[in-house]
Structure 1
Amino acid sequence: MPETARLPERVELVDVPFFQLSDAPGGPSALAALLNHHRVITSPGLVDERMQQLAKGQSAQAGLEAVARSYDLLVYPLPGNLDALMQQVSAGHPVLVMQDRLFGGPGSQFAVLVGYDQRERILILRSGNSRRWHTSFASFDDAWGEAGRWAVLIQPTNQLPAQPVERVWLQAARNLQAQGQTQAAQRALRTARKVWPDAVL
């Protein structure tokens, strides 16, 4: 892994909150942890209620993204490789991921990637009823691949991710705008212009 060779050997974001499993897939619990991490006081139950209001009939991923945007947070999708995820964790950004059967149950499950150890080749996730679930790089990659390699950052609009990509950030800002979070979208645009002066929505 050429990219990860430049990262710290071991990182763990110990301050990321944790909620016990609220439902089998764990999406509301995982998102509630990230929202609280960004000082949005909520609970898995409230996230679940808001998902029902905002995204009834949509996929679980779309529902979680809609809820995050409803709190003026930007949903930034990541590339489907482990290097990209570890890079963000190394920069202090927990990553929301979807796995397939990784934690012993049927179907897809959501988790928050909060750490890694390159020497041991393990990842640390908040998932299900485990605050510190350890899994090998290979097991994670298999289960993540089975679930479509969906991984996103839930970011404040004034905070770019590590090695940001202009088109990805601006599309995420447009998604905020499309959901009616116009002021948040404009804040994201102002953040973009500090790095890309010609950025437009």
Structure 2
Amino acid sequence: MGQLSRPIPLLLLFGVLVLAGCGALGPGFFADRSPRERVLLLDTPFYAQEDYQCGPAALAMLLAWNDEALSLPALSDQVYSPSLEGSLQPAMVAAARRHGYLVYPLDQPAALFAELAAGHPVLVLQNLGFSRLPRWHYAVVIGHDLARNRIFLHSGRQQAMEISARLFERTWARGGHWGVVVLPPDRLPATAGETPFLAAAAGLEQAGQWSAALLAYQAALERWPGSFGARVGLGNARYALADYELAQRAFRQALLLQPANGAVLNNLALALAAAGQRQEALVVIRQALELDGIWRQELLRTRQKIIADQP
């Protein structure tokens, strides 16, 4: 028997969580953020950009840092828009996810410093022009020097370029303080919070990278053992990988935390039906219809699919 349907995705349970985006200056850029005195991640690979190709080049650096074998022309085809003469952030994020990597957002200097201290280079969006005449540019931050008030970037055709913290903050702020780290799915960012990490893991679901999503949800449960969302995501990933027994286990564990959650009951019923336990699946659907009206239409569709799939 083939799969009846896809489970209700995690993002719908929490609302749509998306990566955002596209102060003190000078010495104050470092103030009260407790960065290490100096960080310089010289092991970050460097790709010189061609005209308007800063997006593909910057993303390629982070993928290569992850030991990903890649073709820069192929990556450029995925993220670069000739009509825009540039790359949009959603395309950059989607491309990294298609390679099976977790993309985690950050938008504060303190988070940037924490990720650098953990050894994670950071892809940032800068506006090198003005608010009314923007000149968008992607670069990879690889370090800082507190004493000299400097930021180090792989940028354009320059490797480990030094600029003042004041200039970096101005250009990064004009870019909406948009930044991300790109990591293996089983590695938590230094600044990981439960909800944004689960949103990043759910992005792997959307990309169809179920094995990577599974690793991310397992990592989440190690950090946050009581996470409802991580259990739901784990169940969805197990289901997509046709491991229906472990999918059921994950959904039942999530139901211990939220017994009346119709979406999770729906997904449990799908896992039961996929494993050939159709009558038990229909019992679960009936229970869900009695408990939760929010997901009623989805539950009714699932019930019809289970009935129609019976021999």
Q: Give the TM-score, by structure 2 length.
A: 0.59
The number of aligned residues is: 193
Q: Is residue 2:152 matched to residue 1:119?
A: no
Q: Partner of 1:89 in structure 2?
A: 116
Give the number of the structure whose residues are more often helix, by fraction: 2
- Indicate which of 180, 188, 191 corresponds to 2:219: 191
Which segment is superposed worse, 140-149 or 109-118?
A: 140-149
Corresponding letter in the other structure for 2:192: P
Corresponding letter in the other structure for 1:20: A
Deviations 1:142-185 (A, max 9, x none): 10111111100101111111132111110000111012112211
Extract unaligned runs of 5+ from structure 2. 1-30, 234-311
Q: Helix, strand or coil: the match of 1:11?
A: strand
Q: Is residue 2:179 matched to residue 1:151?
A: yes
User: How big is the shift at 1:10?
Assistant: 0.5
User: How big is the shift at 1:52?
Assistant: 6.0
Deviations 1:38-68 (A, max 9, x none): 0111143221122369xx9x96111110110
User: How big is the shift at 1:192?
Assistant: 0.7
Structure 2 CA distance for partners of 1:40 and 1:139, relative to 1, 3 Å: same
Is contact 1:11–1:117 with CA below 8 Å preserved after alignment? yes
Corresponding letter in the other structure for 1:12: L
Deviations 1:77-124 (A, max 9, x none): 01x22121011101100000010117xxx6100000001000111100
Structure 2 CA distance for partners of 1:143 and 1:11, relative to 1, 3 Å: same
Distance 2:191 2:181 in 1: 13
Structure 2 CA distance for partners of 1:123 and 1:187, relative to 1, 3 Å: same
Is contact 1:29–1:43 with CA below 8 Å preserved after alignment? no
Extract unaligned runs of 5+ from structure 1. none
Distance 1:129 1:82 in 2: 25
Q: Partner of 2:98 in structure 1?
A: 70
Distance 1:52 1:88 in 2: 27
Is contact 1:22–1:45 with CA below 8 Å preserved after alignment? no
Give the number of the structure whose residues are more often strand, by fraction: 1
Q: Partner of 2:25 in structure 1?
A: none
Among the aligned pairs, what percent are the same residue? 35
Higher radius of gyration, 1 or 2? 2
Q: Partner of 2:70 in structure 1?
A: 42
Q: Partner of 1:32 in structure 2?
A: 60
Q: Which structure ranks higher in relative contact order (CA pairs < 8 Å, sequence separation ≥ 6)? A: 1
Q: Helix, strand or coil: the match of 1:112?
A: strand
Is contact 2:53–2:76 with CA below 8 Å preserved after alignment? no
User: How big is the shift at 1:9?
Assistant: 0.4
Is contact 1:65–1:75 with CA below 8 Å preserved after alignment? yes
